[in-house]
Structure 1
């Protein structure tokens, strides 16, 4: 029986056929691979040094009988990848759940201060996210790619510190226009967003208080992404578990004891994020060897060679727009009546809660794929992607089954109004489709981002959601009176288009060996270089003396 190797290769079974091609699987959790050991594929590369090999591909047939006689490392690799992905995922999932719990604590305290306080804080947080913090989070996706690849691919571990420095410097420049925009929050809310003058004025005060924290939030986000790219997923989990009681005490102090209203909510925001940054810095100082192993000291190199960072970060900044699709749905349903808005809120709450699983999985996949790409392990990347996709499908289908078969119980838990319950039940099947496509796309996008394909992901986001999905949803809603079903049909269609497009790219277009070579080239542009001193003028004076000495004066 003859089997084409390309068919086997599509599912990672090429491990069985190419025992000699296995890359030396050094442990990326303990040390960086040296440049000379990075490409240690002796069968595929006859040369030495840091030139990545180009494995040969052919469609020659393989005898299945001979195949079964070969040692079979494939299932060991499956086990290794599955264990690694799960170990990365569960701390992130706990982090997301506890973070959701802290949000509920905030709402509980704010809910006892009246509707005006809740409106001011909600509008202020929405504005601060949409008009600033989300862009910084998107731009810092460059760290996800560069640090995870450099962790196993850079010749000098301090290259990772330079990448972090570069991100911190770039975030400082990004903070300047955000501060300028926030100064004019009130006129923008009144003249562009149509908010009431009194509400806009209070929101402006809230924004003024939290404004100094923009840059520290960016720094803490950069540190979080840096640590996660090294595989330290439990750090964020432990940090948020430690900060959880302080979050409660801060709310209690500013909102109940001092009774400062929305001003207290702003002070709580400042205290909370300042505490997060302090904990990160303390962990780096006392919980790791960051300063000795990764930090090269401040270098002028951090102010140069921004192009690779921005080429990844700017498309990542654009990609966050797809995450606003559900918020756009919330805005659109406001014109459909209170019942539709209430039903929509139930769907959004359930969907965001269950999407934590694929979100945590996608973050884990991005780190693992980045490590393999940096270490030139193309077959490992393929196996990691396949295993994560299987795990993702199981989790997503489980979530979808809960949403569909228990839709009445879920809707009844959130509301006692029969009309609201019926609206949520009626919308749930379309929301299930949207959940499936969004969850799968999260895994696809994470894999592409780990390979440095942020521009591709951004293109899929814009074309699927804003060029096709949302216009289709509006058309079905207002032209055919589909209501909520029309809006969410557009979101589901956009998710389907994005999912299919990214899936086709990963299964049939991406060349894993070529991506490893690109990763090597990308990390080469980030490598630590000898820094130039600020003053380089040197005066050499020679004179004749009994011992014929020379003196060198450095200015």
Structure 2
């Protein structure tokens, strides 16, 4: 089997040599097509997944401002807490599936997928108490008692959503590694359309209020999972899915360690946003501050979905090329992805500065909240620009298997540098929400610079050897599967 992998690597290296003879414009065109095959469906899927929460928030915001603040706390703090863990752990699967697919060890993808399910189910069950005890946790952190009680009721509705993330993220990583994520986009589109209709029907037409929005949210998160499972199990991936296997219970510890480091990497980044919300909840006139900040985070999140699409593309392209032994192709892909993502971010930076106040009214009827959003617009615009680069570099790290290293980078830049600066600006210099946001921007900027330095100084020939070793170490013979 090792000989077969070596032969594949020689073939791919020969292909790499042929690519050198192509013109640079032709290479960019070919690479861009490969990137967008993954990035476009991934962006759309991210948009619709993120949009599910935004649509729920928009309907709840028209029920009442306190309900909006409660939902913002639950979704931004607790749901994203769970998302950070489960999406991060699924990124470990993305590394394994991408490199195995690049090395043409197709049968291993189904085994990795099932192992990741087991690890993710355990993780979801461990974090379940946070959703059961949401109200007392928020009160202990100094949040308004009425808003905390509302948030506790909403959190109970979110428990099925947490378990939906297991299938959603693992199947996405499994399908993306094979560039078969168009099915994800189709299912996401159908789910989003249904969510809009159900939210209107249950919340506005039948006047079920918050309960109606919560029912629609649960349905919207679970519907794509059923479709993805049906696609995988019913012949959509004949090379990589051989049915359920007892091998899923073998060698779980290495999967757990990689998933844990991947989860830590993303969690340390994602959790920074809930920390900002919690700090804002202790301010004077917290209701307006939380509403304004949650709207800004949602706007920032919409742009981030584009960058996360490039993160997926970077992860797939880098892991595939490393698994195939193409170090130069991996480096060329990195440059193409980062430049493309930054260019799009620059365009959105300008567009948001022009239309910032109009966007706020999509989320609220309050002039006070809209004015607060407009005041924060320059900071938000620069965040959009920074976020156009950082996720693409994180995708490079995921594709290369650097999750443990980047976890330490995130811990340092966000929590040792960015967060303390934000707290000082908020509490000691009385800069309000803007102070917290500036601290976040400083953390993102330093993180991006460090990732650029790590990527630039990396020996990609050495990374090919590391990927080759990883594929061999966890390989199971096709006959055993």
Q: Is the 8 A contact 2:77 2:274 kept in 1?
A: no
Report the counterpart of residue 93 of structure 1 in structure 2.
43
Alignment CA distance shift 1:530-1:285 (3 Å): closer
Q: Do the aligned residues in 1 keep the contact of 2:86 with 2:165 (CA within 8 Å)? A: no
- In structure 2, the partner of 1:545 is none
Report the Cα distance in structure 2 between the residues aligned to 1:371 and 1:42, rounded to whole angstroms: 11
Three-state SS of the structure 1 residue aligned to 2:387 is helix
Equivalent of residue 176 in structure 2, options 228, 249, 263: 228
Contact 1:150 1:523 in 2 (8 A): yes
- 2: CA distance, partners of 1:38 / 1:76: 25
Equivalent residue for 1:6? none
Of 181, 193, 201, the residue aligned with 1:245 is: 193
Per-residue deviation at 1:439? Answer: 2.1
Mapped pair 1:129 → 2:76: no
TM-score of the superposed pair, with normalisation by structure 2: 0.85
Distance in 2 (alpha carbons) for counterparts of 1:116 and 1:43 = 60
* Alignment pair present for 1:40 and 2:10: yes
For 1:479 and 1:435, the matched residues in 2 are separated by 27
Quote how far apart the aligned CAs of 1:161 are. Answer: 0.6
Write the deviation string for residues 155-193 of structure 1: whole angstroms up to 9, x where unpaired.
Answer: 3x2111110010011122223323344444444344455
Deviates more, 1:162-171 or 1:402-411: 402-411
* Pairs within 5 Å for 1:435-454: 435-454=384-403
Q: Relative contact order (C-alpha < 8 Å, sep 6+): which is higher? A: 2
Q: CA deviation at 1:80?
A: 1.1
Mapped pair 1:315 → 2:261: yes
Task: After superposition, give the CA deviation of every residue in 1:261-307 in whole Å (9 maximum; x if it has no partner).
Answer: 4444443333333322211122224461x3x4222343332222234
Give the SS at the match of 2:10.
coil
Q: 2-side partners of 1:473 and 1:127: how far apart?
A: 18
Q: Is residue 217 from structure 1 mapped to residue 187 from structure 2 by the alignment?
A: no
C-alpha RMSD of the superposition: 3.6
SS of aligned partner of 1:355: helix
Runs of 5+ unmatched residues, structure 1: 1-32, 45-54, 56-69, 534-555
1:77 aligns with 2:47: no
Q: Say which is worse superposed, 392-401 or 449-458, in terms of deviation.
A: 392-401
Residues 248-267 of structure 1 aligned to structure 2 (within 5 Å):
248-252=196-200, 254-255=202-203, 259-267=207-215
1:321-400 mapped onto 2 (5 Å cutoff): 321-334=268-281, 335=283, 337=285, 344-345=293-294, 347-400=296-349
Query: Against the structure 1 CA distance between its residues 150 and 392, is the aligned structure 2 distance closer, same or farther, given a 3 Å change threshold?
Result: same
Cα distance 1:345–1:200, how it changes in 2: closer, same or farther (>3 A)? Answer: closer
Question: Which protein is richer in helix relative to its size?
Answer: 2
Q: For the residues of structure 2 that align with 1:183 and 1:406, how far apart are their CA atoms? A: 40
Q: Deviations over 1:485-514 (max 9, x none)?
A: 43222122111211111101111x211111
**Displacement after TM superposition at 1:468 (Å):** 0.4
1:102-126 Cα deviation digits (max 9, x unpaired): 4444334434544565555554445
Match of 2:468 among 508, 516, 520: 520
Q: Give the aligned partner of residue 8 of structure 1.
A: none
* CA shift in 2, pair 1:204/1:107, >3 Å: closer
**Partner secondary structure for residue 271 of structure 2:** helix
Alpha carbons 1:210, 1:267 under 8 Å: kept: no
Instruction: Tell me what 1:30 maps to.
Output: none
Q: 1:293 to 1:275 in 2, by over 3 A?
A: same
Please tell me whether the aligned partners of residues 34 and 154 of structure 1 are also in contact (alpha carbons under 8 angstroms).
Answer: no
Change (3 A) 1:464 1:137: same
Question: How many angstroms does 1:96 deviate by?
Answer: 3.4
8 Å contact 2:376–2:434 — kept in the other structure? yes
Alpha-carbon distance between aligned partners in 2 of 1:205 and 1:429, rounded to the nearest angstrom: 35
Greater Rg over alpha carbons, structure: 1
Deviation of the 1:380 alpha carbon: 0.3
Distance 2:89 2:13 in 1: 40
Does residue 457 in structure 1 map to residue 411 in structure 2?
no
Corresponding residue of 2:245: 299
Structure 2: segments with no counterpart, 5+ residues: none
